Amino acid sequence: MVEVPAIRVVELRKSFGTLDVLRGVSFDVHRGNVVSMIGASGSGKSTLLRCINRLETPSAGEVYIDGEPMGARVGANGQSSARPLVEINRMRRDLGMVFQQFNLWPHMTVLGNVIEAPIRVRGMSRKDARALGEECLAQVHLSEKSSEYPARLSGGQQQRVAIARALAMRPKAMLFDEPTSSLDPELTDEVLSVMRELAGRGMTMIVVTHEMGFARDASDRVMFLHNGQIEEEGPPEQIFGAPRSERCRQFLSKYRQ
Amino acid sequence: MSNWERLVWNQREILIKGLLVTIEVCLIAFAFAIVGGLILCLVRMYVRPLRPLAIALIEFFRATPIFVQLMWVAYVWPELFGWPNTFFTAGWLALGLQSSGYLAETFRAGIEAVPAGHREAGYSVGMSPFQVFRRIVLPETLLTVAPSIVNQFTVIVKSSTLISVITVPDLMLQALKLVHVWFEPIEILTATAAAYILFVFLVSAAGKALADFHRRRFGLAAA
Amino acid sequence: MSDALLEAINPAMFWEYRLVLMRGLAFNAYVFFSSASVALAVGLMAALLRVNRAWPFRWIGTLHVELFRNAPDYIMIVWVHFVLPLLLGKLLGQRIEWPPFVSAVVALGFVYSGYFAETFRAGIQSIPLGHLDAGRACGMSERQILWRIVLPQVVRRMLPEATNQFVSLFKATTIVSLIAVPDLMYQVSMVIQTEMRPLPLYTSAALTYFAVIYVVAGTLRLLSERWRNKIYA
Ligand SMILES: Nc1ncnc2c1ncn2[C@@H]1O[C@H](COP(=O)(O)OP(=O)(O)O)[C@@H](O)[C@H]1O
Ligand SMILES: [Mg+2]
């Protein structure tokens, strides 16, 4: 039997008013795989991630998590109907998301940020949540900061807390939207190495990034998004070694040192 | 709507007379507050020996309710200092004193918001400290605080309703007098309230427009 | 004149009039807490109207804010006390009356709701939308996001400005004496009418108010700054 992909995106379209941002995007991500998404700014990468966990509602198309459609549920009689927000919320927990702007909640401590959703959403006891939170913070090497407020941390540390916050929901897959783009160069490495460790432990990940080094040696596949469509995709050796598309080649040439 | 005609329109001369008194008192208080506030601010920032006195005055004017201050100036000051000798003077003086406390702090915030680099640029072309203050710090401060100063005028107008209590014949007092004559408060008081609200609205709209203008023209954020 | 000055700053007068001062001050506090509750509740509602997506709601919220923020509190108190009962009486076809205390609380509460609405709105709009997305991405419901992420931040952000508005509101409570609510100023003016000694009485009233407001406001500002700085370093 064929394995069900962890994330399957089918003919996803999204427009804002008259602006077509995503124009039919389809791909699968298999369990334990890391997919890097590259492309020029404005090509629709963030919108794609946000449509996958439904922070935006797609105009058309569907996203399947472990074979289950995000946007619709299929009733016993085979009829499909729109999924209510409550259920979408439940499915979202399976997808951890890490933002470019960290988006830590400034009024909660580091540990408070990490255990908020396990307590409120999963209904965990405070004690269990704390244990889980400490464990997740250890995974991002920030155990000693658990009672600080986010404002006291460096950008790299804040982003690692955001990763721990996503991990605490025990997600089936994680979405990263340019996790290092608002960091100083010397801070990006600590975040990237945490992400590499996650990948090594078998986490399924979609990573939007401009870090070509990471895309080349940490991902199983690379996708080049252009104008709301996947212009080219393949294993990193192919994309970085011998891109077939002229646009992809041009894009990559800007990143050659 | 004959009531409106009888009680408001036909009394317009009295009401307008009151409005003129209101405007007069507010303008005098406003001018006094700007000058007084600037002096208090400068003394506080640059005259070491008098600094505690300036701070005490500023804090006292700011932390005492205007109504209390008004009664105090109107009934206690004449005994203490032999002045002010009319309620009209007591009215603008109390309003002006309170606002001078607020404006002193506004000016200080404005002066402190002038980036040190602007001052240093002045020194670097050989200006004296006084020239730097006079030609760079002060104009820049006045631009940034201008909207707040206008806003302070609205505070004065709102507080000025209280001078009716010490029998200064402003709009509020004339309206209350009419109520006592006719025993029909609805139209008179509603019209008076509307007049005050409209007046204050127009002044603060002007302040906002000024702030927007300064932001566009000079890239300044209002202090 | 020096006699007068001495009399004005004689500390014995505080002792002499302590009952009047204390009783009056307690009533100021009573008016303050009542009208602050009204102002916060009405102000939050007006702010939520102003950030609403539908323009009729926004429009009503804006009208509310402009109407009350620009109104002098004295005339609003007088209006609520003398005009509103008549209007309601006409509407309901019966005589309506309420004590001056109610007029004072309603008028001050509504006037200050205009100020609080703006503070709430600025607080709400200052929260990065990403914070809400982060909550949604964790599967939190919209209500959890409002109560756990938005409101705690709004409260912290608006605290310094709200402190100033609470101070203004407390100062405004002194004018309720003008419709015979028995606050400090009212008590003081009653004694003045019998004893004819405005100098020590008004002076001690002014100093009492000054001391209370200066100390309370200073403490509140310090606390709110500290609390805030811990978070927005
Ligand atoms: N909420 C929105 N409303 C309108 N336009 C949007 C919105 N979000 C994104 N866009 C537009 O969609 C396009 C793609 O944006 P985005 O997905 O953020 O690109 P990327 O992340 O690849 O830089 C841009 O032109 C952007 O202006
Ligand atoms: Mg993006």
> Rounded CA gap, C51 and C34, in Å?
26
Of A161-175, B31-45, B50-64, C188-202, the range with the lowest mean pLDDT is C188-202
Is residue C230's pLDDT more than 70?
Answer: no
Q: How far is C84 from chain A (nearest CA, A)?
A: 43
Q: How far is C233 from chain A (nearest CA, A)?
A: 6
Is residue C13's pLDDT more than 80?
Answer: no
Task: Enumerate the residues of chain C whose CB falls inside 8 A of the CB of residue A152.
Answer: 233
> Rounded CA gap, C219 and C225, in Å?
10
pLDDT given for residue C3 in this prediction? 65
Say what the pTM is: 0.79
- Whether residue C70 and residue B201 make contact (CB cut-off 8 A), yes or no, is yes
Does A42 contact ligand 1 (Cβ within 6 A)? yes
Q: Which residues of C46-70 are buried (b: 16+ CB within 10 A; e: fewer)?
A: bbebbeeeeeeeeeebeebbbbbbb
- Are residues A137 and A170 in contact, defined by beta-carbon separation less than 8 angstroms? no
> For residue A39, which atom of ligand 1 is closest to its CA?
22
- Whether residue C137 and residue A53 make contact (CB cut-off 8 A), yes or no, is yes
When pLDDT is cut at 50, 70 and 90, the band that residue B223 belongs to is: very low
Domains of chain C with CATH codes: 3-228 (1.10.3720.10)
The shortest CB-CB distance from A103 to any of C134, C140, C156 is to C134
When pLDDT is cut at 50, 70 and 90, the band that residue B221 belongs to is: low
pLDDT digits (tens, 9 = 90+) for A180-223: 998 988 899 999 999 999 999 999 999 999 999 999 999 999 99
The shortest CB-CB distance from B197 to any of C71, C171, C172 is to C71
The secondary structure of residue B8, as a DSSP letter, is I
Nearest residue in chain A measured CA to CA from C132:
A103
> For residue A45, which atom of ligand 1 is closest to its CA?
22
Q: Which of residues 4-33 of C touch B (CB under 8 A)?
A: 4-5, 8
Q: How far is A10 from chain C (nearest CA, A)?
A: 21
Is residue B219's pLDDT more than 90?
Answer: no
- Whether residue B71 and residue C202 make contact (CB cut-off 8 A), yes or no, is yes
Task: Enumerate the residues of chain C whose CB falls inside 8 A of the CB of residue B172.
Answer: 74-75
- Cβ neighbours around C18 below 10 Å, total: 12
When pLDDT is cut at 50, 70 and 90, the band that residue A49 belongs to is: very high
- Whether residue C203 and residue B79 make contact (CB cut-off 8 A), yes or no, is no
pLDDT given for residue B82 in this prediction? 84
Average pLDDT of every residue of chain C? 88
Q: In what order do the strands lie in the sheet with A173-177?
A: A95-98, A173-177, A204-208, A34-38, A221-226, A229-234
Positive or negative, the CA dihedral B179, C30, C173, C42 is negative
Q: Which residues of C89-118 are buried (b: 16+ CB within 10 A; e: fewer)?
A: eeeeeeeeeeebbbbbbbbbbbbbbbbbbb
Does A228 contact ligand 1 (Cβ within 6 A)? no
pLDDT digits (tens, 9 = 90+) for B101-115: 999 999 999 999 888
Task: Enumerate the residues of chain A whose CB falls inside 8 A of the CB of residue C142.
Answer: 85
Interface size between A and C, measured as CB pairs under 8 A: 75
DSSP-based three-state secondary structure for C34:
helix
Is residue C6's pLDDT more than 70?
Answer: no
Residue with tokens 């500290």: C226
When pLDDT is cut at 50, 70 and 90, the band that residue C9 belongs to is: low
CB within 8 A of A115, min separation 6: which ones?
A: A124, A126, A129, A130, A132, A133, A168
> For residue A43, which atom of ligand 1 is closest to its CA?
22
- Cβ neighbours around A44 below 10 Å, total: 24
The alpha carbon of A179 and the centre of ligand 2 are apart by a number of angstroms equal to 10
Ligand number, closest to the Cα atom of A38: 1
**Domain boundaries defined on chain B:** 3-217
Percent of residues, chain C, with pLDDT higher than 90: 48
Give the residue, C80 or A149, on which the prediction is more confident: C80
Give the residue, C223 or A250, on which the prediction is more confident: A250
- Whether residue A149 and residue C230 make contact (CB cut-off 8 A), yes or no, is yes
Is residue B39's pLDDT more than 90?
Answer: yes
Choose which residue among A13, A21, A52, A231 to substitute to test ligand 1 binding: the one with the highest number of ligand atoms within 8 A of its C-beta.
Answer: A21
B3-217: which CATH topology? MetI-like fold (1.10.3720)
The length of chain C in residues reads: 233
The alpha carbon of A45 and the centre of ligand 2 are apart by a number of angstroms equal to 6
Is residue B24's pLDDT more than 60?
Answer: yes
When pLDDT is cut at 50, 70 and 90, the band that residue A113 belongs to is: very high
Average pLDDT of every residue of chain B? 89
Mean pLDDT of C172-198: 87
pLDDT digits (tens, 9 = 90+) for C91-135: 998 888 899 999 999 999 999 999 999 999 999 888 998 999 999
Is residue B139's pLDDT more than 90?
Answer: no
Is residue C155's pLDDT more than 80?
Answer: yes
DSSP-based three-state secondary structure for C6:
helix
A151 contacts chain C (CB < 8 A):
yes
Mean pLDDT of B68-88: 91
Choose which residue among A15, A16, A51, A178 to substitute to test ligand 1 binding: the one with the highest number of ligand atoms within 8 A of its C-beta.
Answer: A16
The alpha carbon of A44 and the centre of ligand 1 are apart by a number of angstroms equal to 6
Bridge partners, residue A233, by sequence? A223
Look at ligand 1, atom 5, and give the residue with the nearest C-alpha: A16
Does A22 contact ligand 1 (Cβ within 6 A)? no
The alpha carbon of A16 and the centre of ligand 1 are apart by a number of angstroms equal to 8
Ligand number, closest to the Cα atom of A39: 1
Q: How far is C7 from chain B (nearest CA, A)?
A: 10
> Rounded CA gap, C34 and A180, in Å?
51
Task: Enumerate the residues of chain C whose CB falls inside 8 A of the CB of residue A96.
Answer: 137
A86 contacts chain C (CB < 8 A):
yes
Is residue C36's pLDDT more than 80?
Answer: yes
When pLDDT is cut at 50, 70 and 90, the band that residue A128 belongs to is: very high
pLDDT given for residue B4 in this prediction? 80
Residue with tokens 């309370």: C216
The shortest CB-CB distance from C231 to any of A89, A106, A166 is to A106
- Whether residue A107 and residue C152 make contact (CB cut-off 8 A), yes or no, is yes
Does A45 contact ligand 1 (Cβ within 6 A)? yes
Look at ligand 1, atom 2, and give the residue with the nearest C-alpha: A16
The shortest CB-CB distance from B64 to any of C67, C76, C209 is to C209
> For residue A50, which atom of ligand 1 is closest to its CA?
17
Look at ligand 1, atom 4, and give the residue with the nearest C-alpha: A16
Give the residue, B93 or B179, on which the prediction is more confident: B93
